[in-house]
Amino acid sequence: MKPYLKKIYDWVDERVELQDLVNFMAKKYVPVHRHSIWYYFGGVSLFLFVIQVITGILLLMYYKGSEELAFESIQFIMSKVAFGWLIRSIHSWTANLFIFTTLVHMFSVFFERAYRKPREITWLSGMMMFFLLLGFGFTGYLLPWNELAFFATKVGTEITGAVPVIGKPILEFMRGGDNVTGATLSRLFGFHVAVLPGIFTILLGTHLILVQRQGMSEPHEFKNKPHAEQKTMPFFPNFILRDLTLWLIVLNLLAILAVFFPWELGKKADPFASAPAGIKPEWYFLFMFQSLKYIPAKVFVIDGEVLGILLFGAAGLLWMLVPFWDYKSSRGEQSRFVTYIGLFVVMYIILFTILGWLA
């Protein structure tokens, strides 16, 4: 280390005991095996979160969260603000990539059984963050106040309203009334920039501390290998540098997407206009939306839509609680049943997303 850098380091170390952290990171090792690639998706998701925070703050400088000015302010950002188009496009593309990488991260953790004891809380915090992420997507989608966003929010909130007992109060709470109006925009804006980020940051902090504290999860077969064959790499700097390389590639990918496929703004929402034909939610909600279409209007005495929502709710809850019912994995045994469930869920999501896309 160069003398002047050493001086700065020492100055900080004297006050916050930085060396302890460096020592901790230097001792931390990441297992190297044929599934190591999946470890990087957590880091990429974190990187995308940081991008979202930065671009979101920049957008906040010009965005106006009201019915009259929301659309125009985005228009202004896209056409008049220096690099406004880039910031907005990156924010929108990152939102989608973020959900995608988080999905991949979640499924990789699921198939690797990384949720098993002692990482139940890490899994739970991750799952809660994933649901919050969907909330970010839903609340952020309305903010440009364009035609597509308006009607997608209308349909989305209507589906929420179909939930028995609590559905109607939630719908009114989300909309700020009976209909999607400027009040809805204000509420969702508040959730998007204040409530959700606040909760998300706490969960993310917990998640990261737990990951650092417990280290990377190792697959069953890795543990069973002789000690000499258990390959590892130092978390710092090897893994961090690899992470950084991947982040740079993702950053470049985002720039390419923003330049070649700038996020469109569409037409300003008109509450009195009829909904455009073939309106669909964002791709990450598409499999649920498409599934609801296939459920008959009435199943025995239950409303088809209500049944669908309850089933998805129950499935989500079961998924979240997997560390508590997958005893085999917790005991360190192979659990084919859980693998089959995971495969079924992955195939179901892919199939219904494609069907929804083609519909």
Interface positions with other proteins (CB under 8 A): 75, 78-79, 85-86, 233-234, 237-238, 241-242, 244-245, 248-249, 251-252, 255-256, 259, 261-262, 264-265
Tokens 């991260």 appear where? 105
- Residue 154: CB minimum distance to other proteins, A: 24
Q: How far is the CB of 234 from other proteins (least distance, A)?
A: 8
Nearer to other proteins, 78 or 99 (CB): 78
- Angle between helix 196-214 and helix 40-60 axes, rounded to 10 deg: 150
**Residue number with CB closer to other proteins (198 or 237):** 237
260: its two tokens: 């070649």
| CA-based nearest residue to 263, from 359, 101, 141, 103 | 141
Residue type, 82: A
Amino acid letter at 280?
Answer: K
- Tell me the closest approach of the beta carbon of residue 255 to other proteins, in angstroms: 5
Most distant pair of Cα atoms in the chain: their distance: 78
CA dist 21 and 135 (Å) reads 34
Complex with other proteins: residue 212 or 252, whichever CB lies closer: 252
Interstrand relation of 302-303 and 298-299 (parallel, antiparallel or unpaired) = antiparallel
Cβ–Cβ under 8 Å, residues 184 and 176: yes
Distance of closest approach, residue 78 Cβ to other proteins, in angstroms: 4
Looking at beta carbons only, is 71 or 138 nearer to other proteins? 71
Shortest distance, position 243 Cβ to other proteins, whole Å: 10
Nearer to other proteins, 201 or 252 (CB): 252
